[in-house]
Amino acid sequence: MTLAARPAFDRALWESDCWARLEQRQADADRAFVYGVVSTGIYCRPGCPSRLPRRENVRFFADAAAARRAGFRACLRCDPDGASRAEREAALVAKAVALIESAEGRPAFDAIARSCGMSRHHFHRMFKAATSMTPGSYFAAIKKRRALDSLGQGESVTTAIAAAGYGSPSRFYEGVADLGARPRALSRGGAGEHIRFTVAACSLGFVLVAATQKGICAIELGDGADALAADFRRRFARACLAEDAAFSQAVADVVTLVEEPSRAFALPLDVRGTVFQEKIWRLLREIPPGETMTYGELAAKAGCPSAVRAVARACASNAIAVAIPCHRVVGKGGTLTGYRWGVERKAALLKREGR
């Protein structure tokens, strides 16, 4: 096997790209390089707020250590040796998320902003850029999750609504209109809900397909039919489970999709998640068969380039395999990172799509 020769590093091209990114003050360039200014002897981040120097006075370095070896000293304004702006903002967002999640009742967003050393407007903008949600929307998603968790544990609807922090039942019902299952039914393990499910064999092992009256709510892959079925029955212990000819056809369509993941899938889906998760799942369905996207690229497409981990968690929370193609998201350099139903299945699906 003959390996292709690695292309030679073109420093002039690299420096031209660095200068273009410096001119645009691209925040994501802070990790890519630093630049030194000959006239001052100082090196800075690309996002430094100082005045743009003349091009002939600029030298580019891959990292701060290289700039120091060349005799430059660190800028006191942008602190290129410390955490980048993106890293500092990520830490502040993590702090804000912890405060929001631990608040009893509605969080005091002004106080949270002050604890992060920001105005409410700046805090709101930073939080949305990182999570693709406003602080208020994030808190609404937390309330919804808390209420659904309580319902799933058998709490009454009234108790779950009060414990989650809803001011009135109407607010709760507005927030969960897309559940596919009624809240009271969820509080009784799916009691009263008609959920059809079955397990079928496929070339990747076994596939469980489940559907509510709204559409397919789960496509799960596994090694054993009994284990898949047992887990589903545990989650919907009191649901009315049924099989009919129409659903058998839907299962056949899902098995065909597993065998040929590049085929169009026209069956309706009953998607359940937070606002952020559902946004990521919609974007996943826009990735064409045979193509892949990194978690970073998906985060950027969602409008939150710094929320790579949140995007990865949203992919991992997807319960509808193949139809919502989270298998098309890969790590840097095309590496096959974790997959809810096994990396081997992820590789097989991508191979079937011609990648």
Tens digit of pLDDT for each residue in 259-297? 888 877 778 888 877 777 888 999 999 999 889 999 989
Ramachandran area for residue 115 (φ above 0: left; ψ -120 to 50: alpha; else beta): alpha
44 is catalytic: yes
Both tokens assigned to 352: 């079937």
326 is catalytic: yes
Asked if the model's pLDDT at residue 326 lies above 80, the reply is: yes
Q: How far is CA 33 from the centre of its chain?
A: 27
Q: Which residue has the higher pLDDT, 202 or 143?
A: 202
Provide the domain limits for residue 168.
83-177
Total number of domains in the chain: 3
pLDDT class of 325 with cuts at 50, 70, 90: very high
Mark whether 344 and 306 lie in a shared domain.
yes
202 annotated ligand-binding residue: no
Asked if residue 246 belongs to a domain, the reply is no
Mark whether 90 and 123 lie in a shared domain.
yes
Asked if residue 343 belongs to a domain, the reply is yes
Mark whether 42 and 122 lie in a shared domain.
no
78 annotated ligand-binding residue: yes
* pLDDT for res 237: 65
Asked if residue 244 belongs to a domain, the reply is no
Asked if residue 267 belongs to a domain, the reply is no
Q: Which of 51, 74, 97 is the last residue of a domain?
A: 74
Q: Which of 3-7, 217-221, 319-323 has the lowest average pLDDT? A: 3-7
Asked if residue 123 belongs to a domain, the reply is yes
Q: Which residue has the higher pLDDT, 237 or 163?
A: 237
Asked if residue 199 belongs to a domain, the reply is no
Mark whether 165 and 115 lie in a shared domain.
yes
Asked if the model's pLDDT at residue 40 lies above 90, the reply is: yes
Alpha-carbon distance 86 to 92, whole Å? 10
Q: Which residue has the higher pLDDT, 42 or 244?
A: 42
Residues across the chain: 355
Mark whether 348 and 287 lie in a shared domain.
yes
Q: Which residue has the tokens 């596919």?
A: 180
Q: How many CB atoms lie within 10 A of CB 155?
A: 18
* pLDDT for res 247: 72
Mean per-residue pLDDT, 229-249: 69
Encode pLDDT of 202-232 as tens digits.
989 999 998 888 888 889 999 998 888 888 7
Q: Which of 18, 44, 116, 315 is catalytic?
A: 44
Q: Which of 130, 147, 177 is the last residue of a domain?
A: 177
Q: Which of 177, 207, 225 is the last residue of a domain?
A: 177
Residue 310, domain CATH: 1.10.10.10
Asked if residue 150 belongs to a domain, the reply is yes
Encode pLDDT of 163-194 as tens digits.
555 555 555 544 444 444 444 444 444 445 67
Encode pLDDT of 74-132 as tens digits.
999 888 888 777 777 778 888 888 888 777 677 888 998 898 888 888 888 888 877 77
Mean per-residue pLDDT, 254-263: 86
Mean per-residue pLDDT, 10-24: 89
304 annotated ligand-binding residue: no
Q: What predicted TM-score, i.e. pTM, was given to this entire model?
A: 0.51
* pLDDT for res 246: 63
Q: Which residue has the higher pLDDT, 334 or 239?
A: 334
* pLDDT for res 189: 47
Mark whether 28 and 94 lie in a shared domain.
no
Residue 88, domain CATH: 1.10.10.60
Alpha-carbon distance 133 to 310, whole Å? 12
Q: How far is CA 39 from the centre of its chain?
A: 44
Asked if residue 207 belongs to a domain, the reply is no
116 annotated ligand-binding residue: no
pLDDT class of 69 with cuts at 50, 70, 90: very high
Residues in contact with 145: Cβ distance below 8 Å, sequence separation at least 6, in sequence order: 274
Residue 24, domain CATH: 3.40.10.10
Q: How many CB atoms lie within 10 A of CB 66?
A: 16
